[in-house]
Amino acid sequence: MQFDPSSSKLDREAATLNTLAASRRKPRCNRKHMPNSLRQAFCRATLGVLLNCGGLGCLILATPNYGQATPVGGGEMRVAISSDIRSTNPGVNRDGNTDTVLYHIVEPLVAFTDTLEVAPLLAERIDITDDGRLYTFTLRSGVSFHNGELLQAEHVVWTWQRLLDPATGFRCQDWYDGTGNSGLKIEAVEAVTPLTVEFRLNQPSALFLHRMANLQCLTGIIHPDSVASDGTWQQPIGTGPYKLDQWQRGKSVTLLRHQDYSNLTEPRSGLTGDKTPYIERLHFVVTPDAIAAQAALFSGAVDLLFAVPPAARHSVAARRDRKGDVVLKDYLTLDWTALLIAPDDPLLGKPDMRRAIAHALAHEQIAEFANLGMAPANASPVQVISPFYSTHHSQWLEYNPDKARQLAASAGYQGEPIWLQTNRKYSYMFDNAVAIQAMLQAAGFNVQLQVLDWASQLSHFFRGDFQLSSFGYSSRSHPALLFGTFTGDRSIAKSYQWDNDQARNLVGQLATATHADQQHLLDQLYSLMREQVPLIGLYNDHNTDVVRTRVRNYEPWAFGRPRLWGVWLENKGERP
């Protein structure tokens, strides 16, 4: 059978978002669950934003088309990023900024659309046998790498053999080598013809293409010259609309337009469709300080700030209203923020202690404090804009400080310090930590903040070296992938937060289940999560991207990261 992305269509994001927007409360400051200091800070910040946005919380704010409608080529676009990329090696040493730069350089066989469907990218056709174990990808002809060579099936085979080699360090190798929750294993990757490649699996998988399209574990096809003769990494030679020009570590990353880019004719959608690189040069500028980044935007030194912190949105909106030189783009994402609780800690590993912490937190107030009322609370890994989200996933342990104290006492807690790790690079993580600390202290927990730089906190996360951690999981297209990110065998990876046989079994079943069965399994997983509290979900992020008015045709999407193909500059000359 031929793969048809419409056969598994997800409900359109817009309908869910419009429902959420219509249900938002009018601004008020009656936050009875908040400690006084937190309530005062929230009310001061929230009223400034909500009143400026007509009381809708700016959850959804449509921006009309503006300016020049005819695309023009050339120029340089400068984008502020909050930290340097971690490497140029796709899917190996990564974070969100790294992924953003690299998916402009490398492309996988398939990619997500705006509606979170999987669609062909380097492949033009996908055939799947009736038993679901053999995938045949027919490649597009005439696709060129950045070094001028044409894409062939042998390049796909080489790339995937490299990804599956443990020496590469591919982050998601366990998705494909049989050691993960699903037990899925790629048994062979073979070139059948110069433009045809086969993937043979040990079992059918409903999520195989979703994983192949995943942004956090990029499976972009690269040319073998990307590595040296001894196998060490050099730089990515991909097929994407842009190629790497220069990486000045700690300062910037510059990409140049791929002049021979082979484009698709379908409209731009997600990471596929029309990806015409109109702009000659993309310059990602490392700007860790949020105030400096905002000043650079206002001065014209940068053209785009993405994921502007909610607390800064009011001043940016005021600038727009006063000078009209910036445009705001508001949207809800698939990113999910959470409080991690160390499963191996002698105290925090106790079920009563974990439930005590959950009962001490008022989710809606944390979400409103950190997002200024622009994103609803969500304790479930099933994202609010997912078609699998239901009233079942809107329920969590009730806010009850008295019950929290009782459970903590039964767990043997005697007021010893509990350290909560956070960072200032991602303001929402720090804001979450402040709110969590205030609520836990109000319930009698001696919680202290441990503020680290982001690289250190991430290292602690991968080592499992923390008690509590204010954390965030970047967008996953399917809730099963998000559950799979934190559910697994901790002897394999300390980043797994939930090492439970029943949970791992349910996550494994999701890989081969039908859509209806997936709903049932996701409901079961969330019920088990409420019972065991392996971690505490908080909300799905609201993002605001801000562009200078000279930037044309820029549109955000649910993955919360910019796409700079299909974008052009009206005034390519001197900056203001």
Domain with residue 190: its CATH number is 3.40.190.10
* Domain closes at, from 203, 237, 271: 237
Tokens standing for 208?
């195989």
Q: Is residue 268 part of a domain?
A: no
The residue type of 401 is P
Domain that holds residue 153: 107-237
178 lies in a domain?
yes
Q: Can you give the pLDDT at residue 572?
A: 55
Question: Could you give the number of structural domains in the chain?
Answer: 2
How much is the pLDDT for 67? 45
What residue has token string 């921006």? 63
CA pair distance 315, 309, nearest whole angstrom: 11
Look at residue 486 in the predicted model and tell me its pLDDT.
96
Same domain, 403 and 514: yes
Q: What is the pTM of this model?
A: 0.78
Model confidence over 186-205: pLDDT tens digits? Answer: 999 999 999 999 999 999 99
| C-alpha distances out from residue 317 to 79, 327, 546, Å | 19, 8, 9
Residue 287 in any domain: the answer is no
Collect all residues with Cβ–Cβ distance below 8 Å to 155 and sequence separation of at least 6: 145, 221, 222, 223, 224
pLDDT of residue 476: 86
Last residue of a domain, one of 221, 237, 253: 237
Domain-located, residue 113: yes
- SS3 state of residue 399: coil
215, part of any domain: yes
Domain assignment present for residue 475? The answer is: yes
**Token pair belonging to 376:** 């609803």
Residues of the chain with pLDDT under 50: 5-34, 36-67, 574-576
Residues 6 or more apart whose Cβ sits within 8 Å of residue 52: 314, 317, 318
505: in domain: yes
> What CATH number is attached to the domain comprising 510?
3.10.105.10
Yes or no: say if 501 and 380 are a contact pair by the CB < 8 Å rule: no
Question: Does 100 reside within a domain?
Answer: no
Do 371 and 499 belong together in one domain?
A: yes
As given in the structure block, the two tokens for residue 388 are 């699998």
Which residue, of 237, 265, 295, is where some domain finishes? 237
